[in-house]
A and B are shown apart, each in its own frame.
Chain A
Amino acid sequence: MKKYRHEITAGFLPLLDSALLIVAKEKGFAEIEQIDLTLVRERSWATVRDRLAVGHFEVAHILAPMPIACNLGLTAPAPRMIVPMALGLGGNAITVSGNLWWKMVDSGATADLDARSTGDALRKVITQRAGDRLRFGVVHPYSAHNYELRYWLAASGIDPESEVEIVTLPPADMGNALKDGTIDGYCAGEPWNTFGVLKRGGHLATVKAAIWKSSPEKVLGVNARWADSHPEALAALLRAIYHASVWCAEPGNHEELARLLSGDAYINKAAEWLRPALTGELKIGLRYKQTVKDFFVPNAKAATFPWKSHALWFYTQMVRWGQIEHTGPHQRVAGNTYRPDIYRSALKSLGIAMPAASSKVEGALGMETPVGSSGALTLGPDGFFDGNLFDPDCIDEYLSAQKQP
């Protein structure tokens, strides 16, 4: 008799938010669900996508906008992909070089990660600047990093297309590129901001959790063909990852988690680079620390729920930055990539509190708000730093408002 009912191979990149998948395996949550879970580390999102496409992987830790881009035919090969679960909220930061940081300080920036004041300071620096444009690194064109960096810049009055240059680099190369002056700043996940601060003279300007609170970052991308033919295996995996998210959220487990993630087979970096993201006690400069309560949220606030409004916001940014034309069919493809229905039915048996809606107005919750009758679930705050709302039922209006200079 076979020991396991399901065999699943998952691709991941060595980043902090691969934690949920790694814990699902290492702490036995996959095994409880009768899953033989194999984790394969990769070095680029392109390869994760390609190996998902041809069936080397059934599922993967992947950039939240990437499955949408695949389904819209923006990448090749373009596997049909679904997102039945998110792998946490937040987790990114924008790191700038020491040189740029001190110029920003001269223009009024303070070391408190406030997106508005650092954005204002950056705009002043750019206005006064002569010569080359500042260059910022992101990890992929279809990444939350790219869109939140651009959102922050644009809402601060800086045109990301003409006033700065945005380049793509592997996250592990960001720190070196910052130090040698190839770039002036970057938006990346952890541990690469902590690395930039501790080892490459960088300074955190702001964090994802300040630009858009409770916002999506990595998701579980699933080969749709496999999902269609293996609904039980997928449901079992979602339960295992959900249990892993609860385990990751427990402060008492953070030390063990940091050590687990630092292992050779996973992130393979010092545990001290991984702790800040887990505890929220960020090193924002060599001499400054700041506690960001919701820097990375693995479980609370429905952090694993695949909101259709998240998918649609990414879609609006793809349109905003000229990656795709806005049409009704495109919008439907984007929205339908995220599958809260699969999440609900897989996790039903756990008896946990789940959001009743599949979409929400992003930015509507100004504070932590209990939802549902049981009160066991709280959502928010989920606002953008510029105070704008995103109503997924009014996409046309949102898009035309964003066209204004």
Chain B
Amino acid sequence: MSWTDIIVQGLKNWDTSLVAYVPDISIDRVTRLIDDDPFFHLVSASREEEAIGVAVGAYATGRNSAVFMQSSGFGNSINAIASLCIPARTPLPIFINLRGGPGEFNIAQVPMGRATRPILDTLGLVNFTLDDEYNMDKIVDGALKLCHANRQPVAICMTQLLHGGKLA
């Protein structure tokens, strides 16, 4: 399976049918698959913290949810994660296109991209980084299992080495 199919299958395995996101070209292939699949409801948010709120609302009524964003958008959503997801113990998978790694062409994407994982660590949130498809099905499935067991957000960071990145 390709990395996009692995993510879609992982979400289905964990009955995660509401996905809130802010579009990103590098992971558009996976959010497009989600949008085209009637199993999912893909909600387009105007800002990443809004996507967090929508996803928590879905979970509160018994529907598993996930969010997709870019690392810059993770920066926009830190307080939503810190003041809503963590205190309420919300098992929210956060899929992040991690900018600022090998191949980055945009100086403005480097600081937040590099800071994303240290911030996740500071918040005490488990996070995984995917550079390639090796063992990826086990990592995605295991991340979602851990997420629900721990009832806290888990971040799955996807680098340009995985998805090929944005063409400059």
Please determine whether chains A and B interact with each other in the same assembly.
no
